[in-house]
């Protein structure tokens, strides 16, 4: 049986880089290394690799797709595998933009692993690299007694999983509603200790009280230096209350990615003079390219990134990078005007 060995490189540096890979053999089968971590979620199947991979496949045409984050152009490569022997291929990824050079750093603020994930540590080590995320925030949550794999991680900054360029934090999603409605869901990041209760009401049991309100959790998180981000486009009756009482630091839009876009509540808050910074994530696993870019004023650190998020220097995307500047003011800036004004608008 033919064997394919691939090496993935950055086209400029020549250094091998982690990526996610989709290999289909002549029989239409998705093939992957036996022990590889697989992408979870919608779309074509991919396996994660640390820069090199080896797969066994059938004779004939082989289709390869390689992706790494959103700043590299996806690569598609076709080759022919002979009946026996090994085929080696170098796959060069070209970077179409380098936003960290402009101090814009991508992050995912909303990630969980479900109870079926058998290798959460290995996945968490690969995902920031494969998806080219500067900040990865995984969070615990509670729904009855379900043993979610991401709940095994300790609350707080995860030094063992972090590097100078990849910062990983374990936060908390504090929640009320089991289904639609209820108080809502809130992400708590940069915590030192768990904020309890993690869930309340039917999410815990039929006898658990609908108390305390989520605003209490917001206060508890901020007391220990935490960051508060409302989830799911403002879903939940307590969202406008928390926003009006200045309990929130940011607002997650388009998480999860499999639901329709709903920006209406965020825009209604803007029309009320409540300008919450835009943020986003993918929710269950890193199953999409959803990311929030944050511009730091100084070198990249997790704390500087969070300060940029709170200051509103953000934009969210699942690929495109577009700028609209008004009189030199970029994304997140607040411009005060009285009456009609003339302004220089630049789009790029």
What ranges do the domains of the chain cover?
Answer: 3-93, 99-322
C-alpha of 344 from chain center: 33
pLDDT over 80 at 257, yes or no: no
pLDDT of residue 259: 67
- Asked if residue 260 has pLDDT above 70, the reply is no
Identify the pLDDT of residue 25.
Answer: 94
pLDDT grade, residue 171 (50/70/90)? very high
CB 216 within 8 A of CB 209: no
- Give residue 348's pLDDT: 87
Determine the average pLDDT of the residues in 203-219.
Answer: 95
Which tokens hold the place of 109? 């603020």
What token pair was written down for 164?
């100078």
Q: Which two tokens stand for residue 247?
A: 């309990």
* Residue whose C-alpha is closest to residue 314's, from 275, 348, 288: 275
Locate the DSSP E strands across 148-270: 156-157, 167-175, 185-189, 227-230, 250-252
> What pLDDT does 178 receive?
72
Which residues, at least 6 apart from 208, have a Cβ–Cβ distance to it below 8 Å? Answer: 199, 200, 201, 202
| Residue 312 confidence (pLDDT) | 96
Predicted TM-score of the model (pTM): 0.95
Identical fold, 3-93 and 99-322: no
For a pLDDT cut of 90, what percent of the chain falls above it?
84
- pLDDT of amino acid 332: 83
99-322: CATH, from 3.90.550.10, 3.40.50.2000, 3.40.50.300, 3.20.20.140: 3.20.20.140
User: Omega into 256 within 30° of 0, i.e. cis?
Assistant: yes
* CATH number assigned to the domain covering 3-93: 2.60.40.1120
Output the six-digit token pair for 111.
Answer: 């990630």
Which range (30-39, 116-125, 132-141, 230-239) has the least confidence?
Answer: 230-239
């Amino acid at each position: 049986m033919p064997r394919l060995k691939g090496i993935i490189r950055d086209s400029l540096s020549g250094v091998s880089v982690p990526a996610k890979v989709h290999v289909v053999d002549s029989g239409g089968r998705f093939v992957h290394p036996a022990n590889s971590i697989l992408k979870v979620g919608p779309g074509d199947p991919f396996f994660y690799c640390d820069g090199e991979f080896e797969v066994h496949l059938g004779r004939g045409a082989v289709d390869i797709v390689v992706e790494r984050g959103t700043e590299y152009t996806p690569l598609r490569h076709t080759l022919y595998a002979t009946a026996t022997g090994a085929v080696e291929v170098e796959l060069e990824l070209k970077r179409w933009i380098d936003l960290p050079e402009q101090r814009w750093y991508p992050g995912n603020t909303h990630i969980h692993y479900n109870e079926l994930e058998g290798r959460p540590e290995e996945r968490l080590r690969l995902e920031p690299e494969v998806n080219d995320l500067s900040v990865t925030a995984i969070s615990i949550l509670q729904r009855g007694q379900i043993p979610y794999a991401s709940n095994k991680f300790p609350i707080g900054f995860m030094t063992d999983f972090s590097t100078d360029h990849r910062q990983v934090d374990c936060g908390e999603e504090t929640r009320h509603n089991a289904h639609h409605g209820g108080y809502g869901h809130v992400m708590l990041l940069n915590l030192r200790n768990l904020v309890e209760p993690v869930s309340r009401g039917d999410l815990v049991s039929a006898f658990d009280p609908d108390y305390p309100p989520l605003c209490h959790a917001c206060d508890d998180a901020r007391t220990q230096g935490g960051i508060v981000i409302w989830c799911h486009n403002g879903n939940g009756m307590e969202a406008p209350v928390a926003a009006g009482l200045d309990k929130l630091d940011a607002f997650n839009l388009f998480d999860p990615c499999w639901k329709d876009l709903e920006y209406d509540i965020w825009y209604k808050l803007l029309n009320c003079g409540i300008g919450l910074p835009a943020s986003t994530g993918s929710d269950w696993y890193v199953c999409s390219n959803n990311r929030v870019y944050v511009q730091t004023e100084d070198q990249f650190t997790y704390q500087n990134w969070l300060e940029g998020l709170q200051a509103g220097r953000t934009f969210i995307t699942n690929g495109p990078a577009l700028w609209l500047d008004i009189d030199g003011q970029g994304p997140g800036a607040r411009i005060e005007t009285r009456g009609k004004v003339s302004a220089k608008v630049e789009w790029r």
